[in-house]
Each structure stands twice: as structure tokens, then as C-alpha cells.
């Protein structure tokens, strides 16, 4: 290697065959590049770090009775697993509005959905609490929709990443906010409440 070409940084060392810490699982964090590793993790019944496997997908799709051309909302976009399957069913000519309050995962999910071939025409992403659904629909010029889907709770990405404060496997700051840009962290809230209120 010449003096002008800097060496790539050395990968962090970890003990054992596979990395255990969330941040060290670099292959699982890059499913496009390391699709084989990711497929192996999924086949072993685990969820790759930094991703989310949607549950009851067929049941949800059947309950929504989706047809091409339908217009609807996924109020909890998450990793976009349900959204992508909904888009498959309502395409062509359908439209999905995707909402999520999480500012860290939301842009990554939008990038994945765009990379799957869903443009602005069929998929509008709005980072919002679902409490703001009426405003979001007004922004899209929609007076009504055919369905609203909500997969309530936390995503695996939020549980997995110790820095989010949701993990029950690994120590991390006591934060627990879906949107860390707003409001008090769990630690701040606990410091100000009393047993009376």
C-alpha cells in the first residue's frame, strides 16, 4: 500500500466467533452488503441487529382487505415491513401515508422503502406522532382514507440499541423516548416525580 493510500481502519476486536455487542454487529447493520449473514441470523430465529421482523403480516393484510388503488395510513411505520407488504397489495395506483415519531429510524426506513421502488407518488412519509394523523392527512389533501393500520409498541431497533434506553439485555442511559428530541428522558422524569404524583 502506498504512503498516499490510507489503510482502512481496523475492525474492532471481539471475543468469540460472533460479535455480541449491538454496535459490533457490523454485518447485521449492513443487510445489503452482508445479505447471507443476515439470512442466516433470520433462519436461526433471531432478528438481525438494527432491524425489525414484522409480525402477523398475512393476518394483518387479510384483515385490511387490501386491493390495488386503495389509499391508507400506516401510523407506525417502524422498519417498514408491514408498509412494504401493504404497498405491494395496493399498487398500482394506491397510496400509503407512513407516520412514525422516531427521528433516528424514520429516515433509514424511508430510504429502504424508496430503494424498494416506491416513489413519492405512491408513498408519502411524514415524521409525526400518530396523534397528528388529521393534520398529516390534510397536508396530503386527503379528506378520507380506506384504512388505518397501527402496529403499536416499540420496534426491535429501539429495543436493540442500548443508547435508546429501552434495552433489557444491555446497560444504557435511562432514556426510553420514542422521540429523543422532545420531552424528558425517563431518568429526568423519575428525578422530578414523587410517590404522590
Binding site for ligand SAM (CB under 6 A): 52, 54, 76, 78-82, 99-102, 129-130, 151, 153, 155, 178
The least distance separating ligand SAM from the CB of residue 140, rounded to whole angstroms, comes to 16
> Which residue number, 14 or 189, has a Cβ lying nearer to ligand SAM?
189
Cis amide leading into 92 (omega within 30): yes
> Which residue number, 91 or 156, has a Cβ lying nearer to ligand SAM?
156
The least distance separating ligand SAM from the CB of residue 7, rounded to whole angstroms, comes to 38
Integer Cα distance of 134 and 91 in angstroms: 24
User: Which of 87, 90, 133, 139 lies closest to 114 in space, CA to CA?
Assistant: 87
User: Which of 152, 121, 118, 124 lies closest to 137 in space, CA to CA?
Assistant: 124
Greatest extent of the chain over all pairs of C-alpha atoms, in Å: 68
Instruction: Please spell the DSSP secondary structure of 111-152, one letter per residue.
Output: HHHHHTT--TTTEEEEE--GGGHHHHHHHTT-S--SEEE---
The least distance separating ligand SAM from the CB of residue 16, rounded to whole angstroms, comes to 29
The least distance separating ligand SAM from the CB of residue 59, rounded to whole angstroms, comes to 13
> Which residue number, 82 or 95, has a Cβ lying nearer to ligand SAM?
82
Comparing every residue's Cβ against ligand SAM, the nearest one is 78
> Which residue number, 53 or 193, has a Cβ lying nearer to ligand SAM?
53
Amino acid at each position: 500500500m502506498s504512503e498516499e493510500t490510507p489503510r482502512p481502519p481496523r475492525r474492532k476486536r471481539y471475543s468469540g466467533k460472533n460479535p455480541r455487542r449491538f454496535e459490533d454487529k457490523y454485518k447485521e447493520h449492513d443487510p445489503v452488503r452482508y445479505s447471507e449473514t443476515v439470512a442466516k441470523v433470520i433462519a436461526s430465529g433471531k432478528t438481525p441487529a438494527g432491524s425489525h421482523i414484522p409480525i402477523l403480516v398475512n393476518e394483518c393484510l387479510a384483515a385490511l382487505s387490501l386491493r390495488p388503488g386503495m389509499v391508507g395510513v400506516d401510523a407506525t411505520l417502524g422498519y417498514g415491513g408491514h408498509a412494504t407488504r401493504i404497498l405491494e397489495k395496493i399498487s398500482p395506483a394506491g397510496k400509503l401515508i407512513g407516520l412514525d415519531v422516531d427521528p433516528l429510524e424514520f429516515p433509514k426506513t424511508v430510504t429502504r422503502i424508496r430503494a424498494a421502488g416506491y416513489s413519492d407518488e405512491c408513498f408519502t412519509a411524514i415524521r409525526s406522532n400518530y396523534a397528528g394523523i388529521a393534520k398529516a392527512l390534510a397536508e396530503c389533501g386527503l379528506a378520507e382514507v380506506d384504512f388505518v393500520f397501527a402496529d403499536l409498541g416499540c420496534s426491535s431497533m429501539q429495543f436493540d440499541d442500548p443508547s435508546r434506553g429501552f434495552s433489557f439485555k444491555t446497560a444504557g442511559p435511562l432514556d426510553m423516548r420514542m422521540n429523543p428530541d422532545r420531552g424528558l428522558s425517563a431518568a429526568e422524569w423519575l428525578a422530578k416525580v414523587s410517590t404522590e404524583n
